[in-house]
Structure 1
Amino acid sequence: MFLRAVRSEFQKILTVRMWWVLLIVLVGYVAFTSGLLAGVFGGLGDQLASSGGNAPDITDAALPPIIYSIASSIGYVFPVLFGTLATTSEFRHQTLTPTFLAQPHRGTVLGAKLVTLAVFGALYGIAALVASVGLGASILSATGHSTALGDSDTWALLARVVLAMAIWAIIGVGLGALIPSQVAAIVIVLAFTQFLEPILRLMTSLADWAAGIGQYLPGAASDALVGSSIFTSMTAAASGAQSLEWWQGGLVLFGMAIVAAGLGYLTSWRKDVT
């Protein structure tokens, strides 16, 4: 029963072009950003450090993880949006009606959607890593910096990027179930991830007492799970703020995904649909 529901969710996604359009934009966005940062800090790092300006001092050992983690530190918004759109489109186009008629156990339908979108989130993570590692490592190597691809810690970081992207897709499903209006859900996701949370993370990094709160924000928890990010490096250099351990960040982020999915199930998902 559950496997049949999962197969149905895969068919729904693969029959529309939304998944590969977002994937292409994600790869281009991550490739551009990682290439830009690798070129700036790899090729001009010494000049920036000796200029006496406000450029962050990033060590050679910390540079590859920062470049590679661009896949999740800026790319996480895409699996969130994908999970949200895949769920809200069910309400918008009323495809939930035949789905619930075929499978009356709504928890099974939601569980299948969570599993399916987690798989696509992991796929997005792998594609984003191809972009960030492929271009970033090439530029680092060309500028005389270590790529750190021979280190086991680097590959552990890459695996955690894939895990983080899968969890973000689950969060998107939960948000879509909680906020069935597609326009409202998209606005909330973009406003929070692109404006509100970065501002909150910056503000909480300015005081020690607030930094303990800021590390539990979803983006900060995701960065902690991965183990590196350009945002965390810059705020830590400015304020000395600490982040959660990688497993703590993973638990916080996964807990948010479960809460969002649970609230979505208890509210909009259980209501009558037409």
Structure 2
Amino acid sequence: MTRRTAGRHGFRQAVRMEWIKLRSLRSTPWMLLATTVGMIVVGVAAMANTKAPSPAAAASFDPVNNALAGVVIGQLVIGLMGVLAVTGEYSSGSIRSTLAAVPGRWTMLGAKSAVVGLVSLVVGESVTFVTFFAGTAAMAPGVPQPSLGDAGVLRAVVLSGAYLALVALIGIGLGAAIRHSSAAIGAFVGLFFVLPLLLAGLTGPTVSKFLPTLIFSSSLGVSREVSEVLTPWVGFAVLWLYVVAALGVGGRLLARRDA
């Protein structure tokens, strides 16, 4: 009996429960659709308006960042999905049922992170590749088209898709730490959109280069390395530190507080 009870509360069962909850939410398909459409439309529009570089700028010409411009929209929607995956349960009161079924709060948070993170990764990678190919097809004749075989291009596309999954995990951590939807959303928007603008204006890249949005736009989503910012793989590692910090703080507060 002990084994069956423990198994019922195990990680695999928790993952299955979180998957059922995520796909049953009416907001989930709409958010994923908004991510897909927004990224493709913005990426295609940016690439269609990309002009051929002057001879002096040809060596540094990097249209890949234009193709991936829609990731900024994607990060907003995917991040909110991560936040609401936690705070929505507190708003509806269903968190009590969840914790009754899975008393281990770290197990619950890990299962939720695994499901939302994997869905975000699959969607992120799929849409970034579709956006890249659609964007290059929309480029004007005479403009040098990037190819996945070019140096740094495949890495930029793959890391941009992975970036969306990391954003979702940060959103889950913020949701678990704050619990209230409006406050958690405000914290997410502040971290990803407001703070980068403020610090970029005040300090330039000195401090802002360590913030998630600037890491994407200047490090991950480019095929040619940019000076004075983090290298792509260092930036990717810093993003994982954000994930660990967000989930660590969120998980600790989740374990210490009552539902």
For the aligned pair, the TM-score class normalised by the smaller chain equals 0.7 to 0.9
> 1:16 aligned to 10, 20, 25, which one?
25
**Which residue pairs with 2:74 in the alignment?**
75
**Which residue pairs with 1:147 in the alignment?**
146
Query: Compared with structure 1, are the counterparts of its residues 91 and 225 closer, same or farther at alpha carbon in structure 2 (3 Å cutoff)?
Result: farther
**Which residue pairs with 2:211 in the alignment?**
217
1:20-39 equivalence runs, <5 A: 20-39=29-48
Shift of 1:195: 3.0
Distance (Å, rounded) in 2 between the aligned partners of 1:58 and 1:72 = 25
8 Å CA contact 1:26–1:78 kept in 2: the answer is yes
Give, as a single letter, the amino acid of the residue that structure 1 aligns with 2:20: Q
Distance (Å, rounded) in 2 between the aligned partners of 1:175 and 1:11 = 22
Shift of 1:140: 2.1
8 Å CA contact 2:196–2:208 kept in 1: the answer is no
- Taking structure 2 as the reference length, the TM-score comes to 0.85
Shift of 1:164: 1.2
Shift of 1:242: 1.2
Q: Deviations over 1:220-256 (max 9, x none)?
A: 2334552529xx99xx6xxxx5111222111211111
Q: Unpaired runs of 5+ in structure 1?
A: 51-56, 206-210
Q: Deviations over 1:174-219 (max 9, x none)?
A: 00001111122123323443333223224322xxxxx332211122
**Which residue pairs with 1:201 in the alignment?**
200
- Taking structure 1 as the reference length, the TM-score comes to 0.81
The CA RMSD over aligned residues, in Å, is 2.7
**Which residue pairs with 2:161 in the alignment?**
162
Shift of 1:37: 1.7
Query: Compared with structure 1, are the counterparts of its residues 180 and 269 closer, same or farther at alpha carbon in structure 2 (3 Å cutoff)?
Result: farther
Distance (Å, rounded) in 1 between the aligned partners of 2:17 and 2:245 = 25
Shift of 1:270: 3.1
**Which residue pairs with 1:102 in the alignment?**
101
**Which residue pairs with 2:120 in the alignment?**
121
Distance (Å, rounded) in 1 between the aligned partners of 2:143 and 2:217 = 27
Query: Compared with structure 1, are the counterparts of its residues 58 and 91 closer, same or farther at alpha carbon in structure 2 (3 Å cutoff)?
Result: farther
> 3-state SS of the aligned residue for 1:77?
helix
Report % sequence identity: 24
**Which residue pairs with 2:85 in the alignment?**
86
Distance (Å, rounded) in 2 between the aligned partners of 1:18 and 1:225 = 31
Query: Compared with structure 1, are the counterparts of its residues 100 and 199 closer, same or farther at alpha carbon in structure 2 (3 Å cutoff)?
Result: same
The answer to whether 1:263 aligns with 2:249 is yes
Shift of 1:105: 0.9
